[in-house]
């Protein structure tokens, strides 16, 4: 039986192993992809550490880590019509049922019966991966594979910034992890007038400057409310607040420098429940709060490919480290260190 290498967890608990699994076969409506490049997500780090969040997720054992990747279709299962052998694809994480209210109304990304590639199915930190045809999104082979491997997380940023309506507006981004940095790059591409980004990591703030953020702020050193109000027209605060850090205290503080009538886009998963003054922070401000879950299928994919192909969006300065699959431990530890942008794995 033909085998492949894969980074996986065999049981709950810290760590992961590089082992061998049988080469998977695509079933009806599925495709087999030979991986070309993979990217590490914060959720992969959570599973590697096996923290409290990871303990709450229903996963399939053995759990092959990873869900951000690109590669070439090498085999198709029965019933596959839209994808052919030889196509270059990137992986969409959301696996929709196709039959619920949301799927039938163009909202597959928030399907009522949604399952997730790399959690409820084996992931992509392997030499090959099987995924449903609907999740094998054909992309331009001419785009750098390191960029294609990041289409899934970049799509979160494109979705968030598009919903925020940043064109001609002032924008504050809380958190300069990969999604926050991607969001800053997309906000610049979509015409944000002025971008503020905050983080406590000097390394990540430096990355933010490299992609054109106007003001990079460390909340331990600068009063964000005072600074943002002093650097926005008429001292009213920002038009758009994007929360990507998952830090509940930082999120709540952001309402202090959101202008009246402004928009809040919630991307990060808060570390604890928020305690907001509904009158002061939302109602009397007429603030709009928008939640973001993944990417819109497939509007977001088309948007980001056009932005990249048109030369409007460049995320390469944020792709800071690349490791071989055999060096997965060093790669995951690097992602965990905070001294990295986006960390990649090559098979």
Residues tagged active-site: 43, 46
Token pair recorded at residue 30? 């599925």
| Contact predicate 200/175, CB 8 Å | no
Angstrom distance (rounded) from CA 295 to CA 292: 8
Token pair recorded at residue 126? 């392997």
Angstrom distance (rounded) from CA 264 to CA 270: 14
Angstrom distance (rounded) from CA 105 to CA 99: 10
Angstrom distance (rounded) from CA 36 to CA 322: 12
How many other CB atoms are found less than 10 A from the CB of residue 27? 11
| Contact predicate 164/115, CB 8 Å | no
| Contact predicate 149/70, CB 8 Å | yes
Three-state DSSP class for residue 39: strand
Q: What element of type H or E holds 104?
A: helix 101-104
Place of tokens 């289409």: 151
Three-state DSSP class for residue 37: strand
Token pair recorded at residue 331? 């790669």
Q: How far is CA 43 from the centre of its chain?
A: 10
Q: How far is CA 231 from the centre of its chain?
A: 29
Token pair recorded at residue 332? 């995951």
């Amino acid at each position: 039986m033909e085998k492949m290498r894969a980074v996986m967890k065999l049981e709950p608990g810290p760590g992961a192993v590089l082992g061998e699994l049988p080469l998977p076969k695509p079933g009806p409506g599925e495709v087999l992809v030979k991986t070309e490049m993979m990217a590490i997500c914060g959720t992969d780090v959570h599973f590697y550490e096996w923290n409290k969040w990871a303990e709450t997720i229903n996963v399939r054992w053995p759990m092959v880590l990873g869900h951000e990747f690109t590669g070439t279709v090498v085999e198709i299962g029965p019933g596959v019509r839209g994808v052919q052998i030889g196509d270059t694809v990137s992986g969409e994480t959301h696996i929709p049922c196709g039959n619920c209210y949301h799927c039938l109304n163009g909202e597959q990304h928030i399907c009522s019966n949604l399952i997730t590639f790399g959690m409820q199915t084996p992931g992509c930190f392997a030499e090959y991966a099987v995924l449903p045809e609907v999740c094998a999104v054909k992309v331009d082979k001419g785009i750098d594979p390191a960029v294609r491997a990041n289409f899934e997380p970049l799509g979160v940023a494109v979705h968030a910034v598009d919903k925020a309506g940043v064109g001609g507006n002032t924008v504050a981004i809380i958190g300069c992890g990969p999604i926050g940095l991607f969001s800053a790059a997309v906000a610049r591409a979509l015409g944000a007038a002025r971008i503020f980004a905050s983080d406590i990591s000097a390394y990540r703030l430096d990355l933010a400057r490299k992609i054109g953020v106007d003001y990079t702020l460390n909340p331990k050193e600068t009063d964000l409310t005072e600074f943002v109000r002093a650097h926005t027209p008429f001292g009213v605060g920002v038009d758009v607040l994007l929360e990507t850090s998952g830090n509940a205290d930082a999120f709540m503080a952001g309402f202090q420098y959101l202008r009246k009538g402004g928009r809040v886009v919630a991307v990060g998963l808060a570390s604890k429940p928020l305690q907001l003054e509904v009158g002061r922070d939302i109602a009397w401000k007429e603030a709009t709060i928008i939640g973001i879950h993944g990417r819109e299928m497939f509007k977001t994919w088309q948007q980001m490919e056009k932005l990249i192909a048109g030369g409007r969006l460049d995320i390469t300065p944020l792709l800071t480290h690349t490791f071989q699959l055999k060096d997965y431990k060093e790669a995951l530890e690097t992602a965990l260190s905070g001294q990295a942008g986006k960390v990649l794995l090559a098979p």
